[in-house]
Amino acid sequence: MPPESIWTALLRIAIPAILAGAVGAGLTLYGVRQTNRHNAAENAANRQHELEKLNRDHSLVLKRDVLLHVTQLLVQTLAAVRRWDYCRGHLEWLKSNPAAEDDGVKQADSDQWRAWNEYSLRRNELEQATAAACLAVSDDLWKLAQSVGSSIAEAFEQTGNRQSLRSRTVAQVDVEIANFIKAARAELGFVPHAE
């Protein structure tokens, strides 16, 4: 066998090394590509999870703010009914009392109208807030808020008519408001501590 030239020996060594390097580079590129695909999918899943979490957080904040506003208006509207009833009773007492001064009667009359205006304002705010609450709370809780609002209006009517059941009705509205608050806490996920 003739002796091998140096170039042939180099080619015999270089070709497998080049092929091994090409295969190694191809496998490396394939691995990098697979890693990038996996990372892209994981990043997309993380972004989706963060968006969902942010949406839940914003929904909870919106729900909490709406429920706070509706609850405040329920309490304020019922307080306005009580104040109007007190002012009305005071005016009636002054008018029936022959020793009452005209200034006292005028002031009581003015107080009664202010209390009536306060009730009207609170009632309108409550109706608007309750109507808007349907966008943020469950249907059951929204219907409960409407029911309590109707009970307040009924208590106002009974108070205006001086029906004998009026104090019981106002007390019943207090219970309805307490039930609404309990349902609102449950919807917000609030668990009271056992005492």
**pLDDT tens track for 53-103:** 988 888 888 999 999 999 999 999 999 999 998 998 888 888 888 777 888
CA 175-189-52 angle, to 5 degrees, is 140
Q: Can you tell me the distance from the alpha carbon of 10 to that of 14, in angstroms, rounded to the nearest whole number?
A: 6
User: Could you report the per-residue pLDDT of 9-59, keeping only the tens digit for each?
Assistant: 777 888 888 888 888 899 999 999 999 999 999 999 999 999 999 888 888
Q: Chain-centre distance of CA 46, in angstroms?
A: 25
- Please give the model's pTM, rounded to 2 decimal places: 0.71
What are 4's two structure tokens?
Answer: 């091998």
